[in-house]
């Protein structure tokens, strides 16, 4: 066992205990198999593609807990998960807040199968195969051969692009949840946030807490577009791992 593997194993055991931590290490196998994972505190098992970017997502969500919000008085009832991938953040939210209704929005068919498998025991989570965009549209995956947690969307057509899916505005997706407001909006959409914020963000007044990963390294100007949209609004901001947690209440 090399030092990297030993260090990772100790972190898993420290976070999840021996009985869950050691079996969870199987997700680092390079064989690209579907691995069942059981964690203490998570009611049902879930599945991860070993040796893929699913592992990075798993560690962000459950190991370093980058969606553990630093707002102790916060109890969301309506959650919108934009860029749901295989559903791990949705599972984390459902575990934290069992009474919350969660809509997981994911465009990629290659992720949808595992997303469906992961949420099948959770009636509080529904999913929609779609993208979020600045206006209603039909969009494609621009980089279908990249890792499944890095898919970017484009409205351009082309033979080398991935499948076409419908795209909705944030406001449409909030409406789809059936309420006037969303308590928690999680956004991890690989740079699309720049265009969404640049094309008007009145919907922010309908959001209590926004958790967002910015992707200026992919699309320059994401942070600038966000803070321009927040201009004139009162908010509290915290940094949690690679995310910004913005309390707009």
CA distance 44 to 39: 8
| Per-residue pLDDT reduced to its tens digit, 52-87 | 999 999 999 999 999 999 998 999 999 999 999 999
Q: In what order do the strands lie in the sheet with 207-212?
A: 125-129, 101-106, 78-82, 182-187, 207-212, 243-247, 236-240
Predicted pLDDT at 113: 96
My answer on whether 7 and 107 are in the same domain is no
Q: Is residue 194 part of a domain?
A: yes
CATH code for the domain in which residue 132 is found: 3.40.50.150
Q: Which domain holds residue 14?
A: 1-50
My answer on whether 14 and 107 are in the same domain is no
Q: Is residue 58 part of a domain?
A: no
| pTM listed for this prediction | 0.94
My answer on whether 128 and 199 are in the same domain is yes
Q: Is residue 55 part of a domain?
A: no
My answer on whether 169 and 242 are in the same domain is yes
| Per-residue pLDDT reduced to its tens digit, 28-51 | 998 779 999 999 999 999 999 999
My answer on whether 215 and 126 are in the same domain is yes
Residue showing tokens 């595992």:
114
**Mean pLDDT of all residues belonging to the chain:** 93
Count of structural domains within the chain: 2
My answer on whether 16 and 116 are in the same domain is no
My answer on whether 43 and 121 are in the same domain is no
My answer on whether 46 and 69 are in the same domain is no
My answer on whether 73 and 33 are in the same domain is no
């Amino acid at each position: 066992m090399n030092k990297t593997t030993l260090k990772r194993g100790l972190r898993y055991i420290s976070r999840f205990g021996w009985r869950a931590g050691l079996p969870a290490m199987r997700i680092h196998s390079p064989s690209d198999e579907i691995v069942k994972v059981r964690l203490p505190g998570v009611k049902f098992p879930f599945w991860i593609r070993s040796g893929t970017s699913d592992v990075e997502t798993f560690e962000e969500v459950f190991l370093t807990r980058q969606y553990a919000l630093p707002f102790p008085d916060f109890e969301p009832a309506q959650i919108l998960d934009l860029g749901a991938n295989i559903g791990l953040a949705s599972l984390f939210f459902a575990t934290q807040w069992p009474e919350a209704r969660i809509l997981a929005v994911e465009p990629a068919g290659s992720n949808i199968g595992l997303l469906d498998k992961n949420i099948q025991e959770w009636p509080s989570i529904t999913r929609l195969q779609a993208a979020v965009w600045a206006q209603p549209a039909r969009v494609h995956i621009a980089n279908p051969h990249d890792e499944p947690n890095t898919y970017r969307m484009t409205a351009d057509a082309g033979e080398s692009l991935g499948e076409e899916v419908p795209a909705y505005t944030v406001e449409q997706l909030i409406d789809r949840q059936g309420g006037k407001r969303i308590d928690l909006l999680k956004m991890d959409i690989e740079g699309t946030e720049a265009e969404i914020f640049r094309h008007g963000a009145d919907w922010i007044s309908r959001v209590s807490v926004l958790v967002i990963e910015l992707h200026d390294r992919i699309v320059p100007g994401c942070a600038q577009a966000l803070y321009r949209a927040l201009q004139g609004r009162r908010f509290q901001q915290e940094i949690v791992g690679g995310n910004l947690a913005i309390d707009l209440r």
